[in-house]
Structure 1
Amino acid sequence: MAEDIAKLRDYLNRVTVDLRKTRKRLQEAEDRASQPIAIVGMDCRFAGGASSPDALWELLEQGRDAIGPFPTDRGWDLERLFDTASGRGGTTSIREGGFLDDVAGFDAEFFGISPREALAMEPQQRLLLETSWGALEHAGIDPSTLDGVRGGVFVGRNYHEYGAPMEHAPDSVEGHLVTGSVASVASGRIAYSLGLSGPAISVDTACSTSLVALHLAVRSLRSGESDMALAGGATVMYTPGTFVEFDRQGALAPDGRCKAFASGANGMGMAEGVGVLVLERLSDARRKGHRVLAVVRGTAVNQDGASNGLTAPSGPAQQRVIQAALADAGLTASDVDTVEAHGTGTALGDPVEARALLATYGKRPKDRPLWLGSVKSNIGHTQAAAGVAGVIKLVQALRHERLPKTLHADEPSPHVDWSAGTIRLLTEHADWPRSDDRVRRASVSGFGISGTNAHVVLEEAPLDDVEPADGEEGAAPLLWPLSAKSPRALAAQAAGLAEHLQARPELRPRDVAGALATTRTAFAHRAAVVGEGRDDLLSGLAAVADGRTARHLVRGTASSTAGGGRTAFLFSGQGSQRPG
C-alpha cells in the first residue's frame, strides 16, 4: 500500500511538473503571438513636395492642400483628355489630382541597374526600392550590412499598365520587361538588392494594400519567420485611365479633393504616393539600440463577403475588422484616442464607415471624444499607399504631440447621426500631449475596392525609447563624414544635407555627426568636414556641394581593390594633443 502511494505521489509530481512546463510554453507562445512590433524607420514620397516623413508632417502641420494640375511630363494628350460637356468616351471632366513630381527620376547606377533595365522597370517598383533604402537609413541601419539577414519584404502596388505590351516593346528593353513589370518582382527586387533572405511578398488589395502588407509583416515577425521587415505600398498612375473610368461612374470629386465626412463630400480625389516602414520586434529594437518611433499593437484583415455590391462597402465587415484588431492588441475601444479613417469623401463610403466607427469606438466619455481625421484631405487618395500614409501621419503626430486638422471638413456630413456616439472631426489642429497616466494610441483603417478590409492599432513609443532632451554642445571639434557612389552624388548629398539642416536649426551638430558616422553606408567617393561649430560645418558642406576646396574639408576616394590599400601609422602622443 505504501509503495502504491509513493508511486502515485511520484506520478502526480511528474504530471504537475509537465503541466507547469506546458503552461509556460503556452504562455510563451501567446506572448510571441501578441508581442508588440516597433516601427524603427520610415520613408515616403507624396504630392506637394512631401519627399520624406518630416516633409509630410510639415505639409500637414501647415494645413496645405497638395492637389494640383495633371502632369505634363508623361505624354498624356491633355487637350483631348478633358471634356466637360459632351461626355465623349476616353475623356474626363477632372483636371486635378495628387501627383508625384519627376516619377521618371531614378538613380539606376546607385542600385547597379543598367539604363536599359531601369527603363523597363515600372516606376512603382523603382519608388519602392528607393524608399526601402531610405527607410532603413532613417532607422539607423546600414542597408549594405543586411546580406543574409532574415528580413521580410511585404510591399504592394496597384497599377500594371506601364509601357507597351511585351510583344510590341522596342528592342532597347527586350529581356527586362518581365522583371520590370510583374508584381512579384516589386518585393523580390528589394530583397535581392539588400540580400534579405526572409519572405518577399507583393500584395494588391487595392486601397487597403499597404495595411494588408503591414499586417503580414507583423505576423511574420511575431511567428519568428522574419527578424526584421519592410512593409509599404506605392501607386503611380501611368495613364489617365483611372480618371476616365471613375469619372464615368460618378465617383470622383469635380475639384479633385477628398472632403472626408464633410457635408460637401462629393467624391474621391485620386493621387499617387509611396511609403515604406521598417519593423522589428520591440524587444529586438531595444536590444539593438534602435530608436522606436511607435509600436504596432494589433492588426486585422477581413473581407466584406456577399455585400450589396462587389465594390460596395460593408458596415458589419468594417465593425468586425475593427473589433478583431482591438482584440489582437488586447485593448478596448476606449483605449484609442484617434482614428485615421479611410475617409475618401464619397457619398456612399463615408457614411458607412462613420456608422461602423460610431458602433465600435463611439461609446466613450463625453469629455474624451474619439478624434477622426483623414490625410487624404491633404494629399488625395493614394490608393496602394493610402494606409501607410496614414500610419506615417500618426507616427509623426505621436512624436510631435499634435493631431493635424482634416481639410474641407468644417461641416460634418448630415448623412451621419453624429449624436449616436462621442466622435469629433478634426476640423482644427488638436494638442495630443504625452501623459504619465495614459498611453496614447491611434488606429488606421483601409478598405479595398475588392472588399478586403484592414485595421491597425498603433501606440506611442515606451517612455525609455523617447529621444533624450537636448544637452549642451561640447567644445571639441566635430567631423561630418559623407560618402556617395560618384562625385556628382556626393555634391548632391552635401547640398541636400545642408538644406535639411538650414530648415532644422534645432538639430545638434554632434547628433548629425553620430548619424553620418554610424547609420550611413560607406561608399567610395568621400568627404570629411571638420569644424568646432555649426557655421564651420555648414560652410564645409557648401564647399563639397560646389566642388570647392576649404581648410576644414578633406576629400578622397576609397580603394575598391582587395588588398590594394596603403597602411598609415598615427602616433597620437600623450596628454591633450588628441581631444577625446
Structure 2
Amino acid sequence: EGHGTGTKAGDPKEAAAIFECFGQEARDEPLYVGSVKTVIGHTEGAAGLAGLFKALGIVQNGVIPPNLLFNKLNPAIEPFHKYLKVPTALSEYPTLAEGVPRRVSVNSFGFGGSNAHAILEQYNGPVASEESALVPAFAPFVFSAVSEVTLIAQLEAFSKYLEANEDVNLSDLAFTLHARRSQLAVKTSFAASSAAQLKTKIDEKIAEAKANASKPIGVRANSKLVTPGILGVFTGQGAQW
C-alpha cells in the first residue's frame, strides 16, 4: 500500500524505493502495489490511517481492492515495474504455503518529509487442544451496585450461587458480569481461575467489609458524566491552521 499521491516527482521516487526493497527478486506472483487515494483522495492527516485500514482489510479477507482510473503507466515508473503490478480489478491474495501468513506493507509520507513504513502480518493463532479448552480462563469478575450495602448483598448472593454451582462456566460468568449487567457506581472485582477460588475471595471481601464498616468495600465511580466537546481542524498545507 503506497502513499501514491499521483505527483510527478513523488510517485517515481516511491516506486524506486519499493522496487529497491521488494521488487528486484524474480517471483512467481507479482508484488501488488496500489493506493487507497485513487478511491477516496488525499485525506491529509488521516492518509496513513486510510492506507492502514485498507491493508488490514486485505490481511483479514485475502482480497486486494483495485486502483481506480489507472489506464497508462507513468513512463518515469516504467523502470521499476518489472515485478510490480497495479491491480485494476478485485484480486485474490496470492496463494501461500501452509502456515505462511499474509503480509501487507503500508508506506506513508508526512508533510515535513518524514517517512513511515509498517508491515502488517496475519495472525494465525495456535489451535487449542481439547485438553487446553477445558482449562478455565483466569478472568476478572466485576461486580457493581448503587451502594455499599447492595454490593455486599449482591456478593452474598453470588457466594451462595457458587456454592451450589461449582461447575459454572467461569468464562460465561465473567462475560455476563462485564457485558450484560449495568455498570453502577460502586464496584469491586476479583481474579480467579475456579469457582471455589472466586467464592473464597468473595467471602473474604464480605468478612472484611463487615469487620470494618468504615472501610469502603469497592471503588466509587464519578457519577458526573461529562460529554466531551468535538473540535474539527482542517489543516490546509500542514502546520498552518
Deviation at 1:420, TM superposition (A): 5.5
Q: Is structure 2 residue 123 aligned with structure 1 residue 461?
A: yes
- 1:484-503 CA-to-partner distances (Å, cap 9, x unmatched) read xxxxxxxxxxxxxxxxxxxx
Q: Is the alpha carbon distance of 1:412 and 1:420 closer, same or farther for their aligned partners in structure 2, counting shifts above 3 Å?
A: closer
Residue number in structure 1 paired with 2:133: none
Structure 1 residue ranges (4+ consecutive) displaced by more than 3 angstroms after TM superposition = 418-421, 514-524
Q: Is structure 2 residue 84 aligned with structure 1 residue 423?
A: yes
Q: Report SS of the residue matched to 2:32.
A: strand
Residue number in structure 2 paired with 1:361: 22
Deviation at 1:412, TM superposition (A): 2.0
Please give the TM-score of this superposition, normalised by the length of structure 2.
0.50
Residue number in structure 2 paired with 1:390: 51
CA distance in 2, matches of 1:370, 1:350: 16
CA distance in 2, matches of 1:425, 1:450: 27
Residue number in structure 2 paired with 1:345: 6
Deviation at 1:519, TM superposition (A): 5.4
- 1:75-114 CA-to-partner distances (Å, cap 9, x unmatched) read xxxxxxxxxxxxxxxxxxxxxxxxxxxxxxxxxxxxxxxx
Q: Report SS of the residue matched to 1:342.
A: coil
Aligned counterparts, 1:92-491, within 5 A: 340-418=1-79, 421-432=82-93, 435-464=97-126
Aligned residues of 1:401 and 1:434 also touching (Cα < 8 A): no
Whichever residue aligns with residue 113 of structure 2, its letter is G
Aligned counterparts, 1:491-530, within 5 A: 518=178, 522=182
CA distance in 2, matches of 1:464, 1:429: 30
Residue number in structure 1 paired with 2:140: none
Q: Report SS of the residue matched to 2:100.
A: coil
- 1:320-352 CA-to-partner distances (Å, cap 9, x unmatched) read xxxxxxxxxxxxxxxxxxxx1000111221111
Aligned residues of 1:412 and 1:425 also touching (Cα < 8 A): no
Q: Report SS of the residue matched to 1:367.
A: coil
Deviation at 1:400, TM superposition (A): 0.9
Deviation at 1:398, TM superposition (A): 1.2
Please give the TM-score of this superposition, normalised by the length of structure 1.
0.22
Deviation at 1:458, TM superposition (A): 1.1
- 1:539-563 CA-to-partner distances (Å, cap 9, x unmatched) read xxxxxxxxxxxxxxxxxxxxx999x
Q: Is the alpha carbon distance of 1:464 and 1:347 closer, same or farther for their aligned partners in structure 2, counting shifts above 3 Å?
A: same
**Aligned-pair Cα RMSD in Å:** 3.1
CA distance in 2, matches of 1:451, 1:463: 38
Aligned residues of 1:403 and 1:429 also touching (Cα < 8 A): yes
Whichever residue aligns with residue 120 of structure 2, its letter is L
Between Structure 1 and Structure 2, how many residues are aligned? 140
Aligned residues of 1:390 and 1:444 also touching (Cα < 8 A): yes
The structure with the larger Rg is 2
Aligned residues of 2:36 and 2:67 also touching (Cα < 8 A): yes
Q: Report SS of the residue matched to 2:120.
A: strand
Segments of structure 2 that go 5 or more residues without pairing to the other structure are 128-173, 185-220, 224-241
Deviation at 1:450, TM superposition (A): 1.1
Q: Is the alpha carbon distance of 1:434 and 1:416 closer, same or farther for their aligned partners in structure 2, counting shifts above 3 Å?
A: closer
- 1:47-68 CA-to-partner distances (Å, cap 9, x unmatched) read xxxxxxxxxxxxxxxxxxxxxx
CA distance in 2, matches of 1:418, 1:426: 18
Q: Report SS of the residue matched to 1:373.
A: coil
CA distance in 2, matches of 1:522, 1:516: 10
Aligned residues of 1:364 and 1:421 also touching (Cα < 8 A): no
Aligned residues of 2:30 and 2:85 also touching (Cα < 8 A): yes
CA distance in 2, matches of 1:355, 1:364: 14
Aligned residues of 2:101 and 2:123 also touching (Cα < 8 A): no
Q: Report SS of the residue matched to 1:458.
A: strand
Aligned residues of 2:19 and 2:80 also touching (Cα < 8 A): no
Q: Report SS of the residue matched to 1:361.
A: helix
Residue number in structure 1 paired with 2:170: none
Aligned residues of 2:16 and 2:80 also touching (Cα < 8 A): no
